[in-house]
Amino acid sequence: MWLFLVTEVMLFGGLFVAYIIFRNLYPEMYHEAHHHLNKVMGAINTIVLIFSSWTMATAVGMAQRNEPKKSFRYMAVTIVCACVFLVIKFFEYEHKFHEGLLPGGYFDAAKNGLTHPKADLFFSLYFMMTGLHGLHVLVGMSLIVWVMWRTKRGDFNSHYYTPVEMSGLYWHLVDLIWIYLFPLLYLIG
Amino acid sequence: MEKSGKPESHGSHDSPHHITPLNVYGRVFGSLICLTIITVATSYCDFGSLNILIAMAIATIKALLVILFFMGLKYEGQENNVTFFCSFVFLAIFVGLTSSDLLYRSTPEPVKPDASELTMSGPPADVQKLVKPTPELVAKGKALFTQNCVTCHGGEGKGDGPAAAALTPKPRNFTATEGWKFGRTVSGIFKTVTNGSPGTPMPPFAGLSAEDRFAVAHYVRTFMSSAPEDTGADVAALTKEVGTPPKPHLSVERAMEKVAEEWAAGHPAGK
Amino acid sequence: MASTTHDDQEYVDYIHESKGIWSWMTTLDHKRIGIMYLVTTMIFFTVAGFLAVALRLEHWTPQQTIMGADTYNKVFTLHGAIMVFLFIIPSIPGSLANFLLPLMIGAKDVAFPRLNLFSYYLYVIGAVMACWAILFGQGVDTGWTFYTPYSIKTGSSVVTVVFAVFIAGFSSILTGLNFIATIHKLRAPGMTFHRMPLFVWATYATSILQVLATPVIGITMVLLAMERILKIGIFDAKLGGDPILFQHFFWFYSHPAVYIMILPGMGIISELIPVFSRKPIFGYRAIAYSSLAIAAISFLVWGHHMFVSGQSDLSNFIFSLLTVLVAVPTAIKIFNWTSTLYKGSIRLTTPMLYALGFVFLFSIGGLTGLFLAALSVDVHLTETYFIVAHFHYVMMGGTVMAMLGGFHYWWPKMFGRMVPEGPSRIGWFFVFTGFNVVFLPQFWLGSHGMPRRYYNLR
């Protein structure tokens, strides 16, 4: 799984490279554009995701300690958090659509008043990065649901809980990516 | 996607994997929340270029907490540590070398345009004099013709030059009497040479001075058996036209400079 | 061979241990998966080979011979894309490494056998998608490099093919992942790293490249698809992006990719030469570490594909300098192989002929690569047939020779039959001679200015 996480780092890394390059080319544009992102929603999402990482780590801990029922419950909380994250994201996206803050060719400056000619780039990156991240949230959720099902079936004990741990690692990576996405997109301009 | 059965940390035997105490998780969670609050708070203050450094430093601390404790890398063997952190090394290479291109493209010095640059070379021509053929003009015209026109119009002006095979419509046969768009007078040929013939492969030769173009026109007329003459009205009109400066026209070098200058204006941080 | 101790069961080999196509399609045996890769990759080699023949036929006359300009563009694109993504990259890792790696380190199978099968199916799905685009879509006419801005604007089936590449890329990633885990975790007791056969070292280096580099082509393909579908603008100058950024993204993978192509081949040569010189390999550690060094340095040099793209002068300088470094570990290998031959008892069997052919042809290809690493030379030779000759010498004169040598050498192991020596030597002769006849003149053609990817030259 660690090897697979390496590939995920490289995959997202490409997007971060693009972000860094364009940021260095157009710093004022980033500054102007990022104000159109809702910091509060972003911060709440950050806290939700960190909390879900905590519950997932605890779920793994419970599996290690031969407590499948508790493990199951902590994983369930993790899933709830993930859903909350996605719902908030949905509202953010909806808001963007209304403001015409869309990628590239669909960017509508008339609706949002951003005058920089390259402003659409910021939102292209925003949607690509958060979109790919959201996709990974969904994948992570499916993994956790699968592991929850296996837990209920009694597949795991303190000698064998590898799938729980592996899904946990994947989930933590999803959190890790968000830990960088949040300041880069929402906070710094 | 197969995720089960990845014996990363404990080979083929079930060695006891380090069990992190739950209060460690709790404390890590607490720290992460504090750090999040700090990073959001600092984003409301303006520390200039420090903001990004602070944000990235905090993000990295949070990331390390997640990696070392939630993901348990602190308790993993060297293999997994090296593997995971290796990926960031290569990412850094990717960023670094790509930046060496994208951020270090050179921008040429912006050049202020000069009104006089936008006009043609040379003062307005003396049309009354040039409209009459002289041996010097015809000789000059022949030299220019050989250089610029023979490829299409042929050495004998019959419109049968080497390039003519590929052209549609075919280049003008100067010995023919029919089919001339602008007429066979000096002014007519002068106009054709100056403006080209739109819709045909004949290009404008406005880069040649007016005198040169008159010279060519006179030479072309030597291919004709009975060349018509300009009327007084034709000459008057031509004088008016040629006497005034032509429409602004840029040389290729100047055009390239202007493109570079416009690009630079749109990419202020290109250095 | 030997029967088991507690009953009279006769040994049945992996080919005959179960019958029927379903048993093959659901196998978890690395040997069967290796054979399936072998068959599939050779099919695509043949397909792309026919496309190449078509290209050569078109150049029989300076005017149109058998195809129009548009078709020509599609044919050379597909020749490249199929050869790179559906043949060379999966070929040796998928077939020979899959088959031999566990055997060479004393493991029962790879670390994740189901993942192995899944990798094979991902490859097949990617291949089918690509074929779909060719047969029922518009094909692709951008060149296998998919350079923007043309790849954004063209009406051909770019999105289908880039998704096919994305999926096939995952096959490569998961294979690499599998092999690293296998080498780290499943070596038999006593099989230390420094006792592993050099083919295993080569596979290890290749797998690291696959895991680190391939995700970047993944995201690049996604970004290109998004650029076409959603017009995100990241590569489109009109929307604020930079077309050269695409080239950076593309070559960050595709340069390590060419080392994914050659390293396993070098591993095979490291196995063949000692055997047929009856001598231990000269400089085991040097060869082992140079494989890793090639892998590491390969990440630093991608910009040498972009010397005339318009990237900054600083980049050009850096990449030219770094590129010459990669010649060092490569040269170490060549010297070591040659030193192994010295005072050896050489038998010119077919595998040895291929191995010696490799050393000769790869040296030519590699040296011409060094010419091209020099910025000032590359500026003149780029996009000419010199480049075409260079990469065919390393990829075909290199990898394909090594692969054929490997197939001949390990054929008895894989299929229980000896390869008839006479006919296979004749085969070698045709491969070697034919290859040189086609590609050697291209060095001259290129240095005299013949451009590549041109439909005809009048």
pLDDT tens digits, C312-338: 888 888 899 999 998 999 999 999 999
List all residues of chain C from 215 to 254 with a beta carbon under 8 Å from chain B. Answer: 216, 242, 244-245, 248, 252
| Among the partner residues C220, C226, C241, nearest to A14 by beta-carbon distance | C220
For residues C269-283, give the mean pLDDT. 95
Q: Do B95 and A172 touch (CB under 8 A)?
A: no
Of the given ranges (B128-132, B137-141, C3-7, C14-18), which has the lowest mean pLDDT?
Answer: C3-7
What does the H/E/C string look like for C191-249?
A: CCHHHCCHHHHHHHHHHHHHHHHHHHHHHHHHHHHHHHHHCCCCCCHHHCCCHHHHHHH
CA A186 to CA B40: how far, in whole Å?
A: 9
Q: Do C232 and A21 touch (CB under 8 A)?
A: no
For residues C2-29, give the mean pLDDT. 79
Q: Do A104 and C236 touch (CB under 8 A)?
A: yes
pLDDT at C84 over 70: yes
CB atoms within 10 A of CB C347: 11
Q: Do A128 and C245 touch (CB under 8 A)?
A: no
**Using one digit for the tens of pLDDT, what is the confidence trace for C168-203?**
999 999 999 999 999 999 999 999 999 999 999 999
In CATH, what number is assigned to the domain containing residue C268?
A: 1.20.210.10
Q: C153 to chain A, minimum CA–CA distance in Å?
A: 13
Of residues C82, C80, C161, C168, the one with CA closest to residue C124: C168
The neighbours of chain C, by the rule of 3 or more Cβ pairs under 8 Å, are A, B
CB atoms within 10 A of CB B115: 7
| Among the partner residues A17, A22, A106, nearest to C231 by beta-carbon distance | A106
CB atoms within 10 A of CB A184: 22
Residue C408 lies in a domain: yes
Residue C20 lies in a domain: no
| Among the partner residues A4, A14, A120, nearest to C240 by beta-carbon distance | A120
Q: Name residues whose C-beta falls within 8 Å of residue A118's C-beta, 6 or more positions apart in sequence.
A: A22, A26, A29, C240
| Among the partner residues B2, B7, B93, nearest to C299 by beta-carbon distance | B93
CB atoms within 10 A of CB B108: 12
Of the given ranges (A123-127, C99-103, C110-114), which has the lowest mean pLDDT?
Answer: A123-127
In this structure, are residues C94 and C82 in contact, taking their beta carbons and an 8 Å threshold?
no
CA B35 to CA B31: how far, in whole Å?
A: 6
Q: Name residues whose C-beta falls within 8 Å of residue C376's C-beta, 6 or more positions apart in sequence.
A: none
User: Mean pLDDT in runs of 10 for chain A (189 residues)?
Assistant: 87 88 82 83 92 93 91 94 94 85 72 72 87 94 94 89 92 93 83
Q: Where are the domains of chain B?
A: 22-102, 121-244
Tracing tokens 């925003």 back to the chain, one arrives at: A126
Residue C79 lies in a domain: yes
Domain count of the fold of chain C? 1
| Amino acid residing at C14 | Y
Residue C345 lies in a domain: yes
Q: Do B106 and C311 touch (CB under 8 A)?
A: no
Q: Do C212 and B90 touch (CB under 8 A)?
A: yes
- Evaluate whether ipTM surpasses 0.95: no
Of residues B1, B2, B19, the one with CA closest to residue B10: B19
Give chain A's domains with CATH numbers.
Answer: 14-187 (1.20.120.80)
Query: For residue C85, what are the domain limits?
Result: 25-447
Q: Do B98 and C252 touch (CB under 8 A)?
A: yes
In this structure, are residues A177 and A136 in contact, taking their beta carbons and an 8 Å threshold?
yes
Residues of chain A with Cβ-Cβ distance to C236 below 8 Å are 104
| Among the partner residues C181, C233, C245, nearest to A103 by beta-carbon distance | C233
The fold for domain B121-244 equals Cytochrome Bc1 Complex; Chain D, domain 2 (1.10.760)
Q: Do C230 and A104 touch (CB under 8 A)?
A: yes
Of residues C295, C272, C85, the one with CA closest to residue C180: C295
C384 bridge partner residues:
C451
